[in-house]
Amino acid sequence: MRAVRLHEHGGPEVLRYDEVPVPEPGPGEVLVRVQAVGVNPPDWYLRDGLTDVPGSESTVSLPVIPGTDVSGVVEGVAVDVDGLAVGDEVFGLLRFPSFDGSAYAEYVAAPASDLACKPAGIDHVHAAGAPMAGLTAWQFLIELGHDHPSPFQKAPHRPTALDADATVLINGAAGGVGHFALQLAKWKGAHVIAVASGAHESFLRELGADQFIDYTKSRPEDLVHDVDLVLDTVGGPDSSRFLRTLKRGGSQFPVFPGDFDEEETAKLGVTVSTAQVRSNGAQLAELGRLLDAGTVRVAIDSTFALAEARAAHERAARGHIQGKIVLTVA
């Protein structure tokens, strides 16, 4: 089979399209003939040289096949797997947190517990764009779904109850996690303020944003106050500025853990909490039902053939992504 591998770390140019053996599914696994692969930040972190995912005991040895998000068709099933059969269409986030997903390939051996049946109402490209970004939004906002200790904080992450009385600000609302989070918050009835560049305003209003702030023209912390929850999908050293938008008792959820002053948060009477997304086939099945019903949709920024993984990573490096980048497998 063909697969994209890293033989060294570096820029997009180090992604190589190789011939490799078809993997053999082990206990609890199925063999998936891949139709599409989602491109995610951990893919380029690995490419750039990160070899350990926080919270994971696995380490990377080169060459390695990157990728975690797949949609495809079951080609083989281990004898101990129930509930999946040859011919089933599935999608999933594979073996995260780790760099062992090996998704940039024509075939992948996937833990059955990481998979869910692909929603019949969407194609493989859109299904491949859902797992990591959709589960991140789900585990931050709806249900964590596991009791693994966090590598980022001592206390377990606890989502905030979202309903018609809640106001949620989402920074980076047009990106992969952000556009899922916006839709899930609206599904729960919340009032959503979307922060992104002006080019994304019509897109985000179509997804249900009640208010839009163009960060290139205005600072959200100058315009918004008494928010119940901030989900910051961008992060960086300025993330703490969003604390000023919260009401007392409010929470900020940084998707990328940042530096927050405990004295400042205590004085403001707010909470900062983060989580680490983990593979979860059962939660993905719940998200899949929303995708099938059209309650939530996957936006696709661009698609590239598997052999063009370098171009996909170059697109990611340019930023201002609207939704997801996906690799297609012929």
Domain boundary among 256, 272, 288: 272
- The answer to whether residues 118 and 234 belong to one domain is no
139 lies in some domain = no
Cα–Cα dist 140/158, whole Å:
8
Is 230 in contact with 190 (CB distance < 8 Å)? no
Domain CATH code at residue 42: 3.90.180.10
Cα–Cα dist 165/219, whole Å:
24
Each residue's pLDDT tens digit in the chain (330 positions)? Answer: 999 999 999 999 999 999 999 999 999 999 999 999 999 999 999 999 999 888 888 889 999 999 999 999 999 999 999 999 999 999 999 999 999 999 999 999 999 999 999 999 999 999 999 999 999 999 999 999 999 988 999 999 999 999 999 999 999 999 999 999 999 999 999 999 999 999 999 999 999 999 999 999 999 999 999 999 999 999 988 899 999 999 999 999 999 988 899 999 999 999 999 999 999 999 999 999 999 999 999 999 999 999 999 999 999 999 999 999 999 997
Domain CATH code at residue 264: 3.40.50.720
Q: What is the pTM for the complete model shown?
A: 0.97
Q: What's the total number of domains in the chain?
A: 2
174 lies in some domain = yes
Pairing relation of β-strands 107-111 and 29-39? antiparallel
Domain boundary among 272, 290, 315: 272
- The answer to whether residues 260 and 293 belong to one domain is no
Of 319, 150, 310, nearest in space to 327 by CA = 310
- The answer to whether residues 234 and 319 belong to one domain is no
Domain boundary among 272, 297, 320: 272
- The β-bridge partners of 328 are 36, 305
